[in-house]
A and B are shown apart, each in its own frame.
Chain A
């Protein structure tokens, strides 16, 4: 079959290419978890994506990133699963209010959590709704014959996509319904896997912290450990001034206003997508001053290099931060 995919639309800096998609199906994936299937209203094929990719949905006045749960083959409908967060800021409630036939703006898929092509074996660790990118990884691993296993921990009876995950993974799945059992299982896996293995974790912050700490204690180099966090929760921060080295413009950044928003307010277009320190789109080069990194995107090595800042959430340790803008 030859599918003609839509060309990626031309955009100006600061603008993110979007698709207008229609809700084709709504399903119950677990208590509080709604699974949506999104299609092009004309039935046109959708762009493929790397396993572990996410899309950014425009949820009323918010933009939230959600992992795609499909294999990622070009032409597939997009599937997302969203946990309702009653104490959240309204994004998940918006998604739970959608019905078949509703249309919404969806970004092109963005890859920030892809499998490492040279890995000999992939260990997938999912906690709760963190199963969503792992479902994508597992489907693609089966399709391409990659060696993998999935350790899935969730509250009793609350496992999203439990049957689907079992069908995809077969013997490669282990499920844990208690936190101690889950952590013991993860530690046992990390203690004994062949060289060339990479581990991927998505879930609540304590699970990610446990995987990162345990892996480090067992001698895993950071390059073998990959985490996808839900989002950062940040304080308003101290005021500082951004110096734009190319234009000579100075932009004050007050507390409670992000560097990105301040730049936009000053008429400086910076590409951005998730605006919560996850996607990596709004990276800006730093030419002077020390960034206060608060994102979840840059690696430790990139942070200590201090030559780039994710301007949607990160700020400045010094009064002035020089940017290559």
Chain B
């Protein structure tokens, strides 16, 4: 738990996130927990609800996120985009099988179950993307790049 926040909101994703959210909610002193939600995924509806929480929050508020990395990264990106700082966000990642991979060639994001270092076809331009270890905290996506870019055709 964050020991210094005046108020706390908690958002979990899927069953692994649900268990952590349950523990966090139980550990939060009465009156400090202002919002506690478990969603299946960081889909548009969930992220819109999160954005509404951030927009109305006052300084002193903390956000705690739990669940698969792909969902936590997406939620984190929404919160920081609205002015939240790293120091105001706690995260618990339960797994990192799924990734959003950003294609710098066509700018489309592909979501896939793929490890870092492997390749995935871009759903935008069909290039074979090498999944690189660089994660954009702004977009919540891994950087992909054309796997055979330096090979002579």
User: Which A residues have a C-beta under 8 Å from some C-beta of B?
Assistant: 118-120, 190-197, 216, 218-224
Q: Are B4 and A216 in contact (CB under 8 A)?
A: yes
Q: Are B60 and A218 in contact (CB under 8 A)?
A: yes
Q: Are A220 and B59 in contact (CB under 8 A)?
A: yes
A-B contact count (CB 8 A): 50
Given contacts A194-B58, A219-B61, 8 further A-B contacts (CB under 8 A): A119-B83, A192-B58, A194-B57, A195-B59, A196-B83, A196-B84, A218-B59, A219-B5
CA distance in complex: A306, B23 (Å): 36
Chain B residues near A218: list those with CB within 8 A: 6, 59-60
Contacting residues of chain B (17-58) with chain A, CB-CB under 8 angstroms: 54-55, 57-58
Q: Which residue in B61, B83, B87 is a CB contact (below 8 Å) of A120?
A: B83
**B88: interface (CB < 8 Å):** yes
In the complex, what's the smallest C-beta–C-beta distance from B5 to chain A, in angstroms? 5
Given the interface contacts A221-B85, A221-B87, A223-B85, does A197 sit within 8 Å of B59 by beta carbon?
A: yes
Given the interface contacts A218-B6, A219-B4, does A194 sit within 8 Å of B59 by beta carbon?
A: yes
**B108: interface (CB < 8 Å):** no
What would be 29 A-B contacts, judged by CB atoms less than 8 Å apart? A119-B83, A120-B83, A191-B58, A191-B60, A192-B58, A194-B55, A194-B57, A195-B59, A195-B82, A195-B83, A195-B88, A196-B59, A196-B82, A196-B83, A196-B84, A197-B59, A216-B4, A218-B60, A219-B5, A219-B6, A219-B59, A219-B60, A219-B61, A220-B59, A221-B88, A223-B85, A223-B87, A224-B59, A224-B85
Closest to B56 in A: A194
In the complex, what's the smallest C-beta–C-beta distance from A201 to chain B, in angstroms? 15
Given the interface contacts A216-B4, A219-B4, A219-B5, does A193 sit within 8 Å of B59 by beta carbon?
A: yes
Q: Which residue in A118, A220, A223 is a CB contact (below 8 Å) of B60?
A: A220
Chain B residues near A118: list those with CB within 8 A: 83
**B76: interface (CB < 8 Å):** no
Q: Are A219 and B62 in contact (CB under 8 A)?
A: yes
Chain A residues near B85: list those with CB within 8 A: 221, 223-224
In the complex, what's the smallest C-beta–C-beta distance from A103 to chain B, in angstroms? 45
Q: Which has the most chain B C-beta neighbours within 10 Å: A119, A190, A224?
A: A224
Q: Are A195 and B4 in contact (CB under 8 A)?
A: no
In the complex, what's the smallest C-beta–C-beta distance from A124 to chain B, in angstroms? 15
CA distance in complex: A218, B60 (Å): 6
In the complex, what's the smallest C-beta–C-beta distance from A199 to chain B, in angstroms? 8
Task: Please list the 9 inter-chain residue pairs (A to B) with the smallest Cβ-Cβ separation, ordered nearest first.
Answer: A196-B83, A219-B60, A221-B87, A219-B6, A195-B57, A120-B83, A219-B5, A218-B60, A193-B59
Chain B residues near A197: list those with CB within 8 A: 59
